[in-house]
Amino acid sequence: MAERRCSVSRQPFDRFIPFRPNLDVDSSYARIMSSAPSGSTPRASSVADCSQFKTPLSKEYTRLLSESTPIGRGSILPIRRPPATSPFSKRMDHLFGVSPVDEGYDSPGKANVHRRIPASPECIMDMPGLRDDFYTNLLDWSVGNMIAVALHQSTYVWNAESKECQRIEIYVPDVTSGYYISALSWDTKDGNLAIAENKGRINVCDVEKMATSRQFDAWSEKCPVGVIRWTDYGLISGNRKGAITLHDMRTKHPHMVCLTNGSAREVCGLALSHGTSCLASGGDDGVVNLWDMRMMQKIRSITAHTACVKALAWCPWRQGVLATGGGTSDGHIRLWYAQSGDKLGEAFTRSQVCGLVWSEEYKELVSALGSATPDKNDLILWNMKNSEFDPVARLRHHMARPLHVALSPDHTTIATAGADESLCLWNTFPKRCSQRLWSPWDRSPLNPSSYIR
């Protein structure tokens, strides 16, 4: 058998390596990839348009290029700086999974350069029967990592660690068809849960024993209790008649001290400053009242908004700074200095501000915004390091108003409950990795641990 040899034929070819030392690659790539609008013709830009950016060497290159290229065909790979507004700037947010901030807000700042904010919640739970009522407070997160949410006539407690859910049913002897739970709040010490009804009754429940320990009326008249908050010595409640009631829980029969706003408008929001005795209350008339709970008297009234004020939050790292949010016809978030009543800043959201939450670690403010348009029910993260509203990201999932918002005890996760009957958990503030600081002793040759491998 004859031996078969395989021969490889080589074809001579010429390889051309272009030499372009003065070419601006970034600008050329942007001009090539950006498509012109349909029906429009490319602009016959002359190479002389870029004369202000040229060096003597690039001018000579441009002259030679213009002699060999017809002017009517437009410029080829022009040597110029990148445009002020890159055509790819609007696409970058979608690539990294961070929802862009819509019109009316500035572009995201530099606060999230080393942090990726998830654009979708890490956990979604169905909440059938969640009442679509702006004047209620039906969500709270305890220091024991338990989430309480009220669904019509029942309260459910979900343990975020064990993922177990319990149902709290309150016995109401004269229950009617219009009965529902209007507000709830966790005790910051004992882990008790206070549940308020639209008939004016407050129930204090021991979650571990699943039993009601106390039951009393918040006001002499039967009217819905819209908001309740715990203090070191009792409960504070606000009702639809415009009254704020302090219930001293240290006695067998809770002693009541009533504070009036001076008007019959509903009390929508309450916020007690941490470490102080200053209480902020927001009403349906847009007025924010500041109270001294030691003297039981009003300190100051601030005409903050032109609509209902439900969202109130004290800044955790700047004592005396209060954030307030207005209703639908107002749509503003404003910062106030409580001691003088001066306004420090504001932002117009064009939506109903349903809740506000601060992040001390990242120096950010989260606002839950509700609107009649499904694509406007969002969470906005604002960078507040300099008391200026610098938008960082927009989180979207709720198809209806996110009525309630709460922060986890470790200050990393936000819980939102919306009128779309869903509860979402957002991991917006992850813990930063602590970097080890090397001391001179760690590098010293006398340190025996430095020889251990």
DSSP string over 364-390: EEEEEEE-SSGGG-EEEEEE-TTSS-E
Q: How far is CA 238 from the centre of its chain?
A: 26
Burial (CB < 10 A; 0-12, 13-18, 19+), residue 426, is buried
55 and 164 in a single domain? The answer is no
Q: Are 379 and 368 in contact (CB under 8 A)?
A: yes
Is position 391 within any domain?
A: yes
Q: What is the pTM of this model?
A: 0.71
Tell which residue, 90, 119, 96, has the closest CA to residue 427. 119
| Torsion angle of the four alpha carbons 43, 44, 50, 51, in this order, in degrees rounded to the nearest 10 | -150
| Torsion angle of the four alpha carbons 364, 124, 128, 239, in this order, in degrees rounded to the nearest 10 | -20
335: tokens are 């910062």
pLDDT at 71: 46
375 and 288 in a single domain? The answer is yes
**Average pLDDT for 331-351:** 93
Is position 34 within any domain?
A: no
Is position 3 within any domain?
A: no
Confidence of residue 36 (pLDDT cuts 50, 70, 90): very low
| Structural domain of 61 | 21-29+46-83
- DSSP run (H or E) holding 58: helix 56-68
162 and 53 in a single domain? The answer is no
Burial (CB < 10 A; 0-12, 13-18, 19+), residue 155, is buried
Per-residue pLDDT reduced to its tens digit, 350-407:
999 999 999 999 999 999 999 888 878 999 999 998 888 999 999 999 999 999 999 9
197 and 75 in a single domain? The answer is no
Distance between CA atoms of residues 130 and 111, nearest Å: 35
246 and 390 in a single domain? The answer is yes
- Enumerate the H helices of 75-143 as residue ranges: 89-95
Q: Which residues contact 94 (CB under 8 A, 6 or more apart)?
A: 100
217 and 75 in a single domain? The answer is no
Residue 207 has, within 13 A of its CA and on its CB side, a CA count of 24
- DSSP run (H or E) holding 62: helix 56-68
- Please state, for a pLDDT cut of 90, what percent of the chain lies above it: 46
Is position 446 within any domain?
A: no
Distance between CA atoms of residues 380 and 396, nearest Å: 9
Confidence of residue 40 (pLDDT cuts 50, 70, 90): very low
Quick one: DSSP state of residue 73? Answer: G
Per-residue pLDDT reduced to its tens digit, 273-328:
988 889 999 999 999 999 998 888 899 999 989 999 999 999 999 999 999 999 99
Tell which residue, 374, 288, 276, 278, has the closest CA to residue 324. 288
224: tokens are 């819905």
pLDDT at 188 over 80: yes
pLDDT at 264 over 90: no
273 and 137 in a single domain? The answer is yes
Number of domains composing the chain: 2
279: tokens are 């209480």
423: tokens are 């509860």
What is the torsional sign of CA 127, 128, 134, 137? negative
Is position 264 within any domain?
A: yes
Is position 360 within any domain?
A: yes
77 and 144 in a single domain? The answer is no
270 and 133 in a single domain? The answer is yes
55 and 184 in a single domain? The answer is no
**Average pLDDT for 243-267:** 76
236 and 380 in a single domain? The answer is yes
pLDDT at 5 over 80: no
Distance between CA atoms of residues 417 and 22, nearest Å: 57
Average pLDDT of the chain is 78
CA-based Rg of the chain, rounded to a whole angstrom?
Answer: 31
CATH code at position 258: 2.130.10.10
Quick one: DSSP state of residue 137? Answer: B
272: tokens are 């007690």
| Torsion angle of the four alpha carbons 393, 397, 401, 403, in this order, in degrees rounded to the nearest 10 | -80
Q: Are 54 and 63 in contact (CB under 8 A)?
A: no
pLDDT at 95 over 70: no
Per-residue pLDDT reduced to its tens digit, 191-229:
899 999 988 889 999 888 877 878 888 776 788 899 999
Place of tokens 């009217």: 223
Q: How far is CA 370 from the centre of its chain?
A: 13
Is position 103 within any domain?
A: no
Is position 362 within any domain?
A: yes
196 and 138 in a single domain? The answer is yes
| Least confident among 42-46, 91-95, 410-414 | 91-95
Compare 439 and 181 and report the one with higher pLDDT: 181
